[in-house]
Chain A
Amino acid sequence: MPVRKLLLVAALLPGSLLADDVVRVAVASNFIQTAAKLTKHFSETTAVSVRISSGSTGKLYAQIINGAPFDVFLAADTERPRLLEQDGYAVPGTRATYATGSLVLWSRDERLRGRNCREVLQRGDYNRLAIANPETAPYGDAAMQFLVAEGLWQGVSSHVVYGENIVQTLNYAATGNATLAIVAASLMSYPGLPSTVCMWRVPQSSHAALNQQLVLLERAADDEAANSFVEYLRSDRAAAIIERDGYTVVR
């Protein structure tokens, strides 16, 4: 029976895939570009191959506590790594901030050419403002904090649309469906992004720090390759790559 055969194959698979020289990394979707550069660099120097799965931090978290076979988790916040550590899913002491993000206000709308994005936001003469869902995405939460702190929330709330994650939020503005978007500064290096018409850097002081933390997951506690990858991420060479993509790294 084919179904039984499939199950048999599935049962045999993890053993071969979890061989020591493969590291499986769960990456928050805002960091995927940078993670790809890092793993490429890491693999070139160590001959360890890294497999990346990306998704929202919340989704990856739910997958991990339900037994997904990841070795390292690069979250977009500090909350989920903390919970994982506290509940015994992560190796104690491995939690560390690997990058700190920042926000930009961005538009590709030609009608805004020559204008200041921040001023447009203030005056409210635009169609839609896309932010990531504050309830599920840390960058959305930070964007909301900024809007509230600057007293803009009242004015913009009727214009706001919510992206499920920070990349979708950028997509809304990139396809023109939203005039403005508040997104991670790191996304500005995305290849294929339509040319910027206006951009304004949101001061980091206007919201809680967008610290992104990583943890080594419990299943990989004794995995040499995974440990070496975590070590690499804290190295200066990795920090340089991360900074180049618009994050700040506390060394």
Chain B
Amino acid sequence: MEIFGPLWLSVQLALVTTFVLFLIGTPVAWWLARTAASWKPAAQAIVAMPIVLPPTVMGFYLLILLGPYGAIGSWWFELTGSTLTFSFTGLVIASCIYSLPFAVQPMQNAFESLPRQMLEFAWTQGASKRDAFFSVAVPMSARGFVAAAVLSFAHTLGEFGVVLMVGGNIPGETRVVSIAIYDHVESLQYGAAHQMSLLLLAFAFTVLLGMYMVNRRWSLR
């Protein structure tokens, strides 16, 4: 039984999701950290919803939304002739929504703890807002970025319910490790289930250990 295929697929999914979440989550976190808009709490609530909602709710709506009759899925179908569900791209979209708060919240916390005047100093020193963001805000928020990366990566790796509902269990495409383990258990192949689970266990431990060690080094500095 192929053990590394599903694990590698999960790692790929987690990496791509983390990358996309950096692109999407950073401006969202920046906006949330700095805005005084009256609907900020509403925006925060929307971002945080995946923490509260059961994966089945998200899976259900994504199945409809990404399907050929859904808003996103129908557009995608026109464009490409295939549905977003049962595809790696669909899983990336689902994972990004599912892990969004785990990327946004650490970044937002980091941005909120930046002294406002330090950015103002950067501006008056000749840096445009964009320049100051990359030269001052980003390096000063490095810890938040690392936390966001590790949490989105780990959360996507551990994703099950949503993938189960929109993935379609296609080997090499959507059959990620959590699904593969589930299937092995369901079909009484406990040996294979053990092998994959232990591998995932070791991997998760290593990633988290790495993060906490980096964190400790930083806080001791």
Asked whether any CB of A lies within 8 Å of a CB of B in the complex, the reply is yes
**A175 and B67: CB pair below 8 A?**
yes
Main secondary structure of the interface of B (DSSP, over half): loop
Q: Considering only CB atoms and an 8 Å cut-off, how many residues of chain B contact the other chain?
A: 24
Given A58-B187, A136-B183: A161 touches B64 (CB 8 Å cut-off) = no
Q: Considering only CB atoms and an 8 Å cut-off, how many residues of chain A contact the other chain?
A: 23
Interface presence of B152 (CB below 8 A): no
**B168 and A175: CB pair below 8 A?**
no
**A172 and B185: CB pair below 8 A?**
no
Interface presence of A211 (CB below 8 A): no
* CB < 8 Å A-B pair total: 64
**A161 and B69: CB pair below 8 A?**
no
Interface presence of B21 (CB below 8 A): no
Given A56-B186, A177-B86: A130 touches B68 (CB 8 Å cut-off) = no
Please report the C-alpha to C-alpha distance between residue A85 and residue B212 in the assembled complex, in whole angstroms.
Answer: 50
Q: Which residue of B lies closest to A137 (CB)?
A: B186
**B69 and A135: CB pair below 8 A?**
no
Please report the C-alpha to C-alpha distance between residue A170 and residue B170 in the assembled complex, in whole angstroms.
Answer: 17
Residues 149-164 of A, flagged 1 when their CB comes within 8 A of B and 0 if not, give 0000000000011111
Interface presence of A133 (CB below 8 A): yes
Please report the C-alpha to C-alpha distance between residue A175 and residue B62 in the assembled complex, in whole angstroms.
Answer: 11
Shortest 8 CB-CB contacts between residues of A and residues of B = A161-B168, A162-B169, A58-B186, A136-B186, A177-B67, A177-B85, A135-B187, A161-B86
Could you list which residues of chain A lie within 8 angstroms of chain B, going by C-beta atoms?
A: 56, 58-59, 61-62, 127-128, 130, 133, 135-136, 160-164, 168, 171-172, 175-178
User: What would be 18 A-B contacts, judged by CB atoms less than 8 Å apart?
Assistant: A58-B185, A58-B186, A58-B188, A62-B185, A128-B83, A128-B86, A133-B169, A133-B186, A135-B183, A136-B183, A161-B174, A162-B170, A163-B169, A164-B164, A177-B68, A177-B73, A177-B86, A178-B168
Known: A56-B186, A164-B186, A176-B69. 8 other contacts (CB 8 A): A61-B188, A128-B86, A133-B183, A135-B187, A136-B183, A164-B164, A164-B182, A171-B63
